[in-house]
Structure 1
Amino acid sequence: MHYADATELAALIRSKQLSPVEVVKIHLDRIEAVNPQLNAMVVVVAEQALQAAKSAETAIIRGNDLGPLHGVPFTAKDALDTAGVLTQRGSLIFKGRTPDADATSVARFKKAGAILISKTNLPEFSYATETDNRLTGRTNNPWNLDRTPGGSSGGEAAAIAAGMSPIGIGSDVAISVRGPAAHTGIVALKATHGRIPTTGHWPQVPRRYWHVGPMARSVRDIALTYSILAGPDGTDGYATSPLSLDAGLGPQPGRPLRVGWLVRPGFGPISADVAATVEAAARALAGLGCIVEPVRVPALEEINGLEIYSRLHVLETKPYFARCTNGREPELFKIIAGILRMPDTAASDYVAAEQATERLKDGFADYFRKYDAFLCPVTPISAPPHHASEYVIDGERVTPRHILRATVPFNLTGMPALSIRFGTSGDGLPIAVQLVSRWFAESTVLHLASLLESVSEVRDLHPPL
C-alpha cells in the first residue's frame, strides 16, 4: 500500500477499508526501511502523525464531514513553515528553527484532512540543482544511489518516488519541482505564477519567480492537490486569481487540442534518449486525437533564459543572503558561499535582462495564439551523478547549470508547466517530458498529462528498493 496514490488512499479511508492509523503506520514503516539509504526525510514527526491519525479515525466513526485528503499522510519541503515542527531550510544558519504557524500550502493540506509525517531535504536555502547541505546532508536518488534526485525539491521527489510519502509540497524558482520529478519518475506541477500562495515559504526573493507546487505519483493526485492549494490567501499579493478562472479551452467536439513540440533549437544540447522520449510523447498525443506538430519558438532561440535568470538573481539574492548570514559565512555550504562571492550584476545588465524576459513572454503569447500547449524536455539528461563538475551532452561539454535550460524560461514567464515521466534511459533511469500551457490554463496541461499517463508504459514502475 505504500505505492497507492493519495486519491486511492483517501477512498479506502473514506469507505473504512483502511484506517488512517494503518495508512500512517505503513508509511512510517517504509520510512524506517528505506530512508537510511536515501536521506530524503529530515524531520519525521511519527508521534504527532499517529496522534493526528487517531483523531482522523475518530472523525470517521462519528460521521463528521471529511476533507478530500482525510487521513492521508503528506510531506513538505523544509523551505515551508510547519507550526511546531523544525523548519531549518537546509542550513546551519537556521538550525533549530521552529515556526509558530504553517505556510499557507501546509495549512490547506491539513484543512483537507491530510496528515504531515515528515519534512524533506533540500539544498541550503533551496538554491541548487543537487540536494545537499551541511546540516542534513545529501539525498540520493532511489533509482540509483550514486545519482542525484536533483534540487531543490530533491528530498520531496525521492520520498514520493520511494513510497515513503504518497504526496507532498515542493517549490520551484527555476527547476525545483519539475527537475527532481523528472529525475525520480514522479509528477509535479508548477502552476501559473501566483496561483498558489508562497506565504510561509523561504526565501521569498525573488518572489516573482518562486512557485509552490504539488508533487505526487499520479496526475489525478496532482489535479486534486492543485485544487486544494490554489487561490488567494489574503497575504500573498501575487495570489489574486480564483481557482474558477481557467483559460484552458479543453477538448471540444470538432476542436482537438493543438500541441507544438520542440527539442531543439532553443534549449542547447539535449541527449538522444531525452529527445526520443519527447518525440514519443508527441506521437502518443497525436494518436490520442490531438493535432501535434514540430515547432520553432523564435524567442527561445534569441533569448537564453538561463543567462538572464542568472543576471536577475545575483543582483537580488546576493544582498538578501548576505544580510541573513552576516558574520556566519564560514557555516555556509559551498553554493550559497559561491553566490556571495559572485560579482554584482550591473544595473544596465539587470534592466536588459528584465526587458529580455518581457520579450520572452511576448514570444510565448504569440505562440499560444495558434497552439494550446507546448511539449518539450524537462532536463537535457536523466539524473546525473552526485556533484558532477560538467556534463557531456550530444558531444558538447556544458556546466551543471545547463540542467536548468529547459525549465527556467517558464519561471521567467510564469506559465504553468508540468513534468511527467514517459521514458527510460539506457541505464534504467526515468526520463520525463514537460507540458506547458498559456497562463491560467492548468486544465490543459493536466488533461494532456492524463492522456500521456493513460498510454505510458512506465507508469507503474518503481525504484528497486
Structure 2
Amino acid sequence: MSTPIWQWSATQTAEAIKNGEVSSVEVTTAHIERMHAVNPQLNAVVVDLSGAALRAAAEADKAVAQGESLGPLHGVPITVKINTDFKGQANSNGVEAMKNLIAPSDSPVVRNLRAAGGITLGLTNTPEFSLRGVTDNALHGQTLNPWDSDITCGGSSGGAGASLAMGIGALAHGNDIGGSLRWPAFCNGVATIRPTLGRVPAYNESAAAERPIAAQLFSVQGPMARTIADVRLGLEVMSRADPRDPWWVPAPLEGPARPRKVGIAPIPADMHPDPEVVAMIRKAADHLVAEGYEVEEIEVPELSEGWFNWFNLLMAEIRTLQEDTMRAVATPDFNRVLDNYFAHARELDTAGYMQALSERTRHIRNWMLLLEQYPVILAPVSVQKTFGVDEDLISPERVLNMWGDAGRYIGTFNHLGLPSAVVPVGLAHGLPVGVQLVATQFREDLALEAAEAIEKHAGPVIRHLWAREGQSTLERTE
C-alpha cells in the first residue's frame, strides 16, 4: 500500500493484519511514531501507553501466527477518552483533584474494544469535568485544532477528534451528553455517531455515585473515525452487551428497509447562519439526491423549546447535585463558564424538574412521528464556523450564541435521545464542516447509510489537512 500506515482506515488496517500483509507491531509502531512526531505540539493524547501498546501488538501477532480467531479490530491502534475507566489509569476527567482516581476496572466500552482486538495507544484529552466545548484544563493543558491553532478542536471529545485527524489511531472513543462527539467531529473534519441511549453500554466503577437521571438519559458512548465504514465498525464493536449497564438494549444493528426519503431541517434566522457553512449543508442535500434519496424541506416540532428543556434539566442537576463539589476544585475559567451557562438556565424546583422530564416525552413522540414520514433528517451541527479558543469565556451572551443559536440542533438531539451521525462535507473558510443525519431510535443504520451516501461524493475531508503536511499543519489557516 502506497499511503503511510497511519493514514489507513480501521477496516483497511484490520484486513491487512488478518491477511498477513502487515504485522500488528508494524502498524502500532507506525502510529506511535506518528504520535510522537505530532502530539507534542497538538497535545491530544495526554497519557502515552506506547509500551503497553507494543506488548499488546506482539501478542496480537502471535495470535495471527497461531491461527487463532481474530476480533474485528485485531491489532488496530485506537485511543480512549480520559473520562472513561481504563483499568490502572486515572479517570481524571480533566480535573487536577482527580489525577489519582485510578480506575479499578475497564468500562464496558473499553472492555468491548479490547475484546475486539483494539490496541490502545493512549488516553485523549477532555475539558474540566468534560463540560465545555473547548478542550483545555489545568491538569493536561489545551489541545490544539490541527487545522488552525486559533480555533478550538471542540469538546469534550476534543482530544479524540484532534488525534484522529492527525493520524494518531485509526479509531477513537468518545462520549456525548451535549454534542461531545459531534461537535469535535465538526471541528476536526472527522466522522462519528451519537448512538441511541442503550446501544453502547456504559459504566465507570471509579465514580463515587450514580449520575443524575437526566444526565443518564442524555449521555452516550460512541466511536469517532475518518470514514463512515469505520464508524459502523466501531459501533458494532462498542455495542456488545455488558451487565453493568441496565440501560443497554439488545437491539439489532440493522432494521427493515425504509423509504429513501430525507427531510431537510430548517435553519431559523435567529441561529445567525454563516452563508458558507449553510452552503455545505445544501451540498450535502445535493449529494443525497445524487444517490437516489428524495429530499424535501420540512418543519420540525418545538426546536427551541426542546433545546431549552434539555439545557434546563442538565443545569438543574448540576446546580443541585454537583455545583458545590465542582467549584471547590475547579479553575477560575471553569467557574466562569459555569456562570455563563447558569445565566441562561431556568432554575427548576422539584415540580419544575418533574414537569420538564415529562415534557421530554412529548418532544420525543413528535419527532418520532416526523421520522415516520422522513426516515432520515438532515440537520446542521453548527450553522457557524468553528469558533475561537476560549470564546465561551467571553460572556453569557456569547455562550448562548454558540450553543442555543448556532448549535441548537446539537443539544436538541441529546434531549431526544435520537441517533445522530456526523459526516464531513467540505471546507468553509478553509475549515471543515460536517452535517448531522438523524434517524429514529435504534436505527443508526439509516443515519449511517445516508452519511455514507454523502461521503461517497465529499470523500474524506481530512485529505485536505494531510495535503498541507509540507506546511506547518498547526499554523493558522490563511
- For normalisation by structure 1, the TM-score amounts to 0.91
Shift of 1:278: 1.1
Q: How does 1:324-403 map to 2 (within 5 A)?
A: 324-325=325-326, 329-332=328-331, 334-335=333-334, 339=338, 342=342, 344-389=347-392, 399-402=401-404, 403=406
Between 363-372 and 140-149, the greater mean CA deviation after superposition: 363-372
Between 14-23 and 381-390, the greater mean CA deviation after superposition: 381-390
Corresponding residue for 1:298?
Answer: 301
Corresponding residue for 1:187?
Answer: 191
Corresponding residue for 1:310?
Answer: 311
Mapped to 1, the partners of 2:253 and 2:38 lie a distance apart of: 41
Mapped to 2, the partners of 1:149 and 1:233 lie a distance apart of: 31
Corresponding residue for 1:445?
Answer: 447
Give the aligned residue type for 2:230: D
Corresponding residue for 1:276?
Answer: 279
- Count of aligned residue pairs for this structure pair: 451
Mapped to 2, the partners of 1:248 and 1:80 lie a distance apart of: 34
Shift of 1:124: 1.0
3-state DSSP class of the match of 1:419?
strand
- Give yes or no for contact 1:299–1:364 (8 Å, CA) kept in 2: no
What is the root-mean-square deviation of aligned Cα atoms in Å? Answer: 2.4
Mapped to 2, the partners of 1:398 and 1:104 lie a distance apart of: 34
Corresponding residue for 1:236?
Answer: 245
Mapped to 1, the partners of 2:460 and 2:231 lie a distance apart of: 18
- Give yes or no for contact 1:314–1:339 (8 Å, CA) kept in 2: no
Shift of 1:180: 0.3
Mapped to 2, the partners of 1:243 and 1:130 lie a distance apart of: 34
3-state DSSP class of the match of 2:295?
strand
- Give yes or no for contact 2:337–2:392 (8 Å, CA) kept in 1: no
Mapped to 2, the partners of 1:316 and 1:430 lie a distance apart of: 34
Which has more helix, going by share of residues?
2
Give the aligned residue type for 1:431: V
Mapped to 2, the partners of 1:318 and 1:36 lie a distance apart of: 37
Give the aligned residue type for 1:329: A
The alignment status of 1:204 with 2:211, answered yes or no, reads yes
Mapped to 2, the partners of 1:390 and 1:334 lie a distance apart of: 7
Corresponding residue for 1:117?
Answer: 121
Corresponding residue for 1:69?
Answer: 73
Shift of 1:336: 5.0
Shift of 1:383: 1.7
Aligned CA distance change for structure 1 residues 68 and 432 (closer, same or farther; 3 Å) = same
Aligned CA distance change for structure 1 residues 266 and 195 (closer, same or farther; 3 Å) = farther
Shift of 1:413: 0.8
Any unmatched runs of 5+ in structure 2?
474-478
Corresponding residue for 1:222?
Answer: 231
- Give yes or no for contact 1:318–1:340 (8 Å, CA) kept in 2: no
Aligned CA distance change for structure 1 residues 338 and 429 (closer, same or farther; 3 Å) = closer
Mapped to 1, the partners of 2:393 and 2:305 lie a distance apart of: 19
3-state DSSP class of the match of 2:216?
coil
3-state DSSP class of the match of 1:369?
helix
Give the aligned residue type for 1:434: Q
Mapped to 1, the partners of 2:459 and 2:444 lie a distance apart of: 24
- Give yes or no for contact 1:259–1:371 (8 Å, CA) kept in 2: yes
- Give yes or no for contact 1:89–1:122 (8 Å, CA) kept in 2: yes
3-state DSSP class of the match of 2:192?
strand
Aligned CA distance change for structure 1 residues 236 and 397 (closer, same or farther; 3 Å) = closer
- Give yes or no for contact 2:266–2:299 (8 Å, CA) kept in 1: no
Give the aligned residue type for 1:443: D
Between 396-405 and 81-90, the greater mean CA deviation after superposition: 396-405
Aligned CA distance change for structure 1 residues 231 and 46 (closer, same or farther; 3 Å) = closer
- Give yes or no for contact 1:84–1:99 (8 Å, CA) kept in 2: yes
3-state DSSP class of the match of 1:207?
helix
Q: After the TM superposition, which segments of 4 or more aligned residues of structure 1 sit over 4 Å from their partners?
A: 245-248, 322-325, 340-344
Any unmatched runs of 5+ in structure 1?
251-255
- Give yes or no for contact 1:266–1:297 (8 Å, CA) kept in 2: no
Aligned CA distance change for structure 1 residues 229 and 349 (closer, same or farther; 3 Å) = same
Identity %: 31
3-state DSSP class of the match of 1:142?
coil
